[in-house]
Amino acid sequence: MTTQAEIKTLKALAAAEAGCERCPLYRNATQAVPGDGPARSRIMLVGEQPGDQEDRQGLPFVGPAGRVLDQAIADAGLDRGRLFVTNAVKHFKFEPRGKRRLHKRPNAYEIDQCRRWLDVERAIVKPRLIVAMGATAIRGVHGKVLTIARSRGRLIPLPDGAQMIVTVHPSYLLRIPDEADKRKQYRLFVRDLKLCRTAD
């Protein structure tokens, strides 16, 4: 197996991720979904895991949550083409429900096993700023559990010299039933992304 130190490019990383069997999630997923974006980017956005569409297409954030994220990136005045987008967990975790595959949250073991790949991505891309979207992403990036409510709206230093911004996952916005609350939470999400402009 390729060691972490031997992986120097995103292409080599994607190949290593494709063969990953460090946790059971690879058994039912269509494929590992690597990160996407420039090999050198000042900003890295980290989500939870691939969803149904991401698992089928092999790209991160191409489903409904991805459309919300793309709009929020634009509304925050950022250039999507300059951002590196990835997930804390590289395989889709789900439970079958008829013909549908319903998302299941990765557990601590799965997140921690996948940290290897996120660490390599960070070493290759060398972002100055990492946006951790949701609790799974926070654990994947930081290695610890932090509450979103207490950590939002500020830059959190990381051991490698990068900084982390904590925010919600865009899929959270899709689940809010009240339209007024949804608009409010979307504005807060965009506000969080605007913090990235100091690094872009």
**161-176 confidence digits (pLDDT tens):** 999 999 999 999 999 9
Residue 36, pLDDT score: 97
Beta strand extents in the chain (DSSP E only): 43-47, 83-87, 94-97, 100-103, 129-133, 156-157, 163-167
Closest listed residue to residue 77, CA positions, set 193, 182, 163, 185:
193
**128-154 confidence digits (pLDDT tens):** 999 999 999 999 999 988 999 999 989
Residue 2, pLDDT score: 58
Residue 185, pLDDT score: 97
Q: CATH classification of 10-198, choosing from 1.10.490.10, 3.10.290.10, 2.40.30.20, 3.40.470.10?
A: 3.40.470.10
Ranges of the chain whose pLDDT falls below 70: 1-5, 199-200
Judge contact between 160 and 122, C-beta under 8 A.
yes
Residue 103, pLDDT score: 86
Q: For residue 171, which amino acid is it?
A: S
**pTM (2 d.p.):** 0.94
DSSP SS3 for 3: coil
Judge contact between 189 and 173, C-beta under 8 A.
yes
